[in-house]
Amino acid sequence: MDAQELADIYERYGYMVLRVCREVLRDEQEAKDALQETFLKFWRFSERAEEVTEISGLLRRTALSCAIDALRARQRRGRHREAWQELRTLLEEERRLEQGRTYSQKEVITLLFQSLRVDDETLRMAYLYYLDEMTLEEVALETGFSRRAVGMKLERFREHAQKYCTNHGISF
Q: What pLDDT digit, counting tens, does each position of 90-138 carry? A: 666 655 665 544 445 555 565 666 666 677 788 788 878 877 778 889 9
Which CATH code for domain 3-72?
A: 1.10.1740.10
What is the rounded distance in angstroms from the CA atom of residue 99 to the CA atom of residue 121?
30
Q: Domain spans of the chain?
A: 3-72, 103-167
Please work out, in degrees rounded to the nearest 5, the angle formed at the alpha carbon of residue 138 by the alpha carbons of 137 and 141. Answer: 90
Of 25 and 75, more confident: 25
Q: How confident is the model at residue 33 (pLDDT cuts 50, 70, 90)?
A: very high
List the helix and strand counts (H, then E) for the chain: 7, 0
List C-alpha distances in Å: 48 to 10, 57, 82.
17, 12, 42
pTM: 0.46
pLDDT at 89 over 90: no
The verdict on domain 103-167 having CATH code 3.40.190.80 is no
